[in-house]
Chains A and B, each alone.
Chain A
Amino acid sequence: MTVLPLERLAAPDPRRQVLRGVNAGERAYRGILTVLAVLLPLLLVALVSELVASAWPAIRRFGLPFLWTSVWDPVAGVFGAAPMIFGTLASSLIALLLAVPLALGVAIFLTEFAPAWLRQPVAFLVELLAAIPSVVYGLWGIFVLIPFLRAYVVPPLRAALGWTPFFDGVFYGNSLLAGGMILAIMIVPYIAAVSREVLLAVPPSQREAAFGMGATRWEAVWTAVVPYGRAGLIGAVILGLGRALGETMAVTMLIGNRHDIGLSVLQPAYTMAAAIANEFSEATTDLYLSALFEVGLVLFVITVVVNAAARLLIWRVARGTAVGSRAL
């Protein structure tokens, strides 16, 4: 090891100077990207604080019972959001019950069973369902789905299950069932498309391993393919649920908009999104407006909680496998 003379260390070395300096374009580029990246979370913060601020009068007036009381009387200035919260959750649950088996079935068919020439066209058509505007779904629901339900679905349902509280009462058309079904149709393409990606990402060696031990295609799907991708599949379902919770237009047109909690899916109900859309223009008092803002806040919190729960679930399921979730 050689010892450098002190003065050489102290004096700026001309050879080093050549290497110094940061490319100006690079610096500007990084600066712009940083600003943009910070701007989005700031936007979220601004949105939430605005929501809270606007909802504050209602929050102070009604407190937590806002969440479980059912009176919604703009004239008297008394507001409780329980029926809307119930309606949002119930219609989304119905949508999931109908959409998940269908969408998973489509995805499994397209990745495991369909002949090669059929896969792309069908996948494309299914995804095209997502491109139809919400209001068109609403119209279709009113003029096609509801008459169909009334003629062919509800009579046998009532005959078989009319004794349960879930199929009680007279069916007028606009109902929890109609709203839930239209939601199901609307979220199928999302769940199916993501599930398909997840299943495609399962390595072929897993399928071969199943076939090699004498599994049928069906057994290969359920012993190898679906378990391998389960984290991603849960993610697909949660994505669909997120869509269902916030969907407004089509549901507003079909669910009946009655501010009431009932177990029967044949009866009208209300959702938070529908209430905000319907009543915003007629909210004449400040308290009424504030109550609607609070409904929006509750909807926001519910979707955040659902998404957080989904992340947690995916993380727990993916632990040890850490696959499939990558497709998200």
Chain B
Amino acid sequence: MAPPVDARLELEAVRLTALYGRRAVVTDVSILFPAHTVTAVIGPSGCGKSTFLRCLNRMHELSEGGWVTGQVLLDGADIYDPGVDPVRLRRRVGMVFQRPTPFPTMSIHDNVAAGLRVNGRRARTDVDAAVERALRQAALWDEVKDRLRSSALALSGGQQQRLCIARALAPEPEVLLLDEPTASLDPAGTQRIEELCHELKGSYTIVIVTHNLQQAARISDYTAFFYLGELVEVDRTEALFTKPAAERTEAYITGRFG
């Protein structure tokens, strides 16, 4: 049931419970995300999968009343250790959201550079090179290289989302968290993002929350099924989709609920 321990264990949640006030929305989840793999987190709406994702870079605690118990280990060190600075953590664990969130007053170039600037890198040539690298990684460079100074809002929704991915990649994180990144995109935009996931897993450990079972099956190495805040099952993707161990998983992937 657990993924085989063949790779270096980049990210691991241990008995993680996420709460709003006294209400637990994610309960006692333990899971490994092996390095350089894509793990899809699936489950019906409101099952806590987005909250779980936001626990992996300590975004959950920014929500009103949000707190956690348990551990999240990044390279073996607990990110909830009192000495850990969540700001530094988030520079190692980048995040992309459901809706594209470009900074509307900034140019395409500056949007990507914003991710660098907060990381304190300022030399002009350095920034330009890093912006180009991030845009190439996000497969957006060829479409925007001639208009880097124009507004980020001039891009299509799919391009905006790839811009946000570029912005998240610019500081060179180790882990990339994607929270339903294609939920607001058309099929063509969705396809580009999915291809991107495939290319990026060579360099990053990716966790992607998705509503879309086909998407999970297409792009992930491992799939985790959440239901009512609990991790029901996690396995290699083809195993989970062909012979799920839990009855609820089977019911969900065959479309009997959710």
CA separation between A216 and B89, bound complex, in Å?
11
Look across to chain A and name the residue whose beta carbon is closest to the beta carbon of B119.
A214
Query: Is A212's CB within 8 Å of the partner chain B?
Result: yes
Q: Which one of B64, B97, B151 lies within 8 Å of A205 (CB-CB)?
A: B97
Residues in chain A near residue B119, CB distance under 8 A: 214
Once A212-B59, A216-B87 are accepted as A-B contacts, the answer to whether A228 and B171 lie under 8 Å apart by CB is no
- A209 contacts B97, C-beta separation under 8 Å: yes
- B59 contacts A211, C-beta separation under 8 Å: yes
Q: Which of B68-76, B100-108, B194-202 contacts A (4 or more CB under 8 A)?
A: B100-108
B window 12-53: CB within 8 A of A: none
Q: Shortest Cβ distance from A175 into chain B, in angstroms?
A: 40
Residues in chain A near residue B151, CB distance under 8 A: 320
With an 8 Å Cβ cutoff, the count of chain A residues facing the other chain is 21
Q: Shortest Cβ distance from B256 into chain A, in angstroms?
A: 34
- A321 contacts B105, C-beta separation under 8 Å: yes
- B118 contacts A212, C-beta separation under 8 Å: no
CA separation between A270 and B64, bound complex, in Å?
51
- B114 contacts A228, C-beta separation under 8 Å: no
- A223 contacts B99, C-beta separation under 8 Å: no
Residues in chain A near residue B90, CB distance under 8 A: 211-214
Q: Interface readout for B75-111 with A: 1 if CB under 8 Å, 0 if not?
A: 0000000000001111100111101010111100000
- A206 contacts B118, C-beta separation under 8 Å: no
- A320 contacts B104, C-beta separation under 8 Å: yes
- What is the total of A-B residue contacts with beta carbons within 8 Å? 75
Query: Is A261's CB within 8 Å of the partner chain B?
Result: no
Q: Which one of B104, B118, B168 lies within 8 Å of A323 (CB-CB)?
A: B104
Look across to chain B and name the residue whose beta carbon is closest to the beta carbon of A205.
B101
Once A206-B103, A223-B103 are accepted as A-B contacts, the answer to whether A213 and B94 lie under 8 Å apart by CB is yes
Q: Interface readout for A41-56 with B: 1 if CB under 8 Å, 0 if not?
A: 0000000000000000
Query: Is B1's CB within 8 Å of the partner chain A?
Result: no
B window 225-239: CB within 8 A of A: none
- B97 contacts A215, C-beta separation under 8 Å: no
A window 174-228: CB within 8 A of B: 205-206, 208-216, 219, 223-224, 227-228
Once A219-B118, A320-B153 are accepted as A-B contacts, the answer to whether A212 and B103 lie under 8 Å apart by CB is no
Look across to chain A and name the residue whose beta carbon is closest to the beta carbon of B89.
A214
- A214 contacts B59, C-beta separation under 8 Å: no
Once A208-B59, A211-B62 are accepted as A-B contacts, the answer to whether A224 and B103 lie under 8 Å apart by CB is yes
Q: Shortest Cβ distance from A224 into chain B, in angstroms?
A: 6
Q: Shortest Cβ distance from B79 into chain A, in angstroms?
A: 13
- B167 contacts A213, C-beta separation under 8 Å: yes
Q: Shortest Cβ distance from A211 into chain B, in angstroms?
A: 6
Residues in chain B near residue A259, CB distance under 8 A: none
Look across to chain A and name the residue whose beta carbon is closest to the beta carbon of B115.
A213
Residues in chain B near residue A212, CB distance under 8 A: 57, 59, 90, 94-97, 168
Query: Is B133's CB within 8 Å of the partner chain A?
Result: no
CA separation between A178 and B94, bound complex, in Å?
51
Query: Is B138's CB within 8 Å of the partner chain A?
Result: no
Q: Shortest Cβ distance from A206 into chain B, in angstroms?
A: 6
Interface centre among A116, A213, A223, A227 (most CB of B within 10 A): A213
Once A212-B57, A214-B119, A227-B105 are accepted as A-B contacts, the answer to whether A205 and B99 lie under 8 Å apart by CB is yes
Q: Interface readout for A224-249 with B: 1 if CB under 8 Å, 0 if not?
A: 10011010000000000000000000
Query: Is B117's CB within 8 Å of the partner chain A?
Result: yes
Query: Is B219's CB within 8 Å of the partner chain A?
Result: no
CA separation between A209 and B104, bound complex, in Å?
12
- A215 contacts B118, C-beta separation under 8 Å: yes
Q: Shortest Cβ distance from B251 into chain A, in angstroms?
A: 33
CA separation between A317 and B103, bound complex, in Å?
14
Q: Interface readout for A312-328 with B: 1 if CB under 8 Å, 0 if not?
A: 00000000110100000
Query: Is B164's CB within 8 Å of the partner chain A?
Result: yes
Q: List 14 A-B contacts (CB under 8 A).
A: A205-B99, A206-B101, A208-B101, A210-B114, A210-B118, A211-B90, A214-B88, A214-B89, A214-B94, A214-B119, A215-B118, A227-B105, A320-B105, A321-B105
Chain B residues within CB distance 8 Å of chain A: 57, 59, 62, 64, 87-91, 94-97, 99, 101, 103-106, 114-115, 117-119, 151, 153, 164, 167-168, 170-171
The 8 tightest CB contacts between A and B, nearest first, are A214-B91, A212-B95, A209-B101, A227-B105, A214-B90, A215-B118, A213-B115, A321-B104
Chain A residues within CB distance 8 Å of chain B: 116, 205-206, 208-216, 219, 223-224, 227-228, 230, 320-321, 323
